[in-house]
Amino acid sequence: MESLEATGEWDAPSKPAAAGDESDDDAESDDDDDDALCGRSRAEPDPAPAGSAMMKLGIGGAAQRSKCPPLHCTSCNFAVVRFSGHRWHRRADYMHFRNFAGHSYDLAKLRTKLAPDAAFAAYCCQCAWQSVDEWKPLDQWGTDPGGDGGAANGEVRWKKAAPTKAAGFGR
């Protein structure tokens, strides 16, 4: 198996290839569609679900909203924001979240890297981001961000928010 360095393919594909689609050309990707859609969303962060103190630690797509507790990042010490029905553009990077989430929260600028996708939910704090379409368990001591996310220190370190922080979920 070739290493990622040898192939130069660092970005994970944004969606699996359809059966019979033999095009490996990156120019055929949906980036242009995402570029046209990003920043046009009026998405608001999701409020904390009721009964969130009893929920398991994890994140999920749009269909798992009621399972997802409010989260807090132990790396940057900010609340984790969740956007249902959206995913982060694959070109979103650490500096985007560093500049527009956390202490410098700017919802309009944060939205510029959100792409609509009904099955996904996009999560971020000031130092990490994730896009998921199915349940992903988290370890409060660190979870690999995988192909649909990233983290400044290489690990997503999100835990359940304390009850006093739950009211500020998404802000």
- CA dihedral 96→140→84→135, nearest 10 degrees, is 130
Q: What's the CA gap between 136 and 143, in Å, rounded? A: 10
Q: Tell me, yes or no, whether 152 lies in a domain.
A: yes
Q: Which residues pair with 87 in a beta bridge?
A: 115
What token pair was written down for 111?
A: 């939205």
Mean pLDDT, to the nearest integer, of 91-95? 91
Q: What is the DSSP string of 107-147?
A: HHHHGGGEEEEEEEEEEE-SSEEEEESS-EE--TT-B---T
Domain assignment of residue 68, yes or no: yes
21 in any annotated domain: no
- 11 domain-assigned: no
In a domain, 12, yes or no: no
The verdict on residue 79 lying in a domain is: yes
**Domain count within the chain:** 1
Whether residue 14 is predicted with pLDDT greater than 50 in this model: the reply is no
Look at residue 18 and tell me if it is in a domain: no
Q: Does residue 111 have a pLDDT over 70?
A: yes
Q: Residue 53 sits in which domain range?
A: 45-166
- Domain membership of residue 117 (yes or no) is yes
Taking only the tens place, the pLDDT of each residue in 113-144 is 999 999 999 999 999 999 999 989 888 888 99
Q: Is the pLDDT of residue 36 over 90?
A: no
pTM: 0.66
| Longest Cα separation, the chain | 52
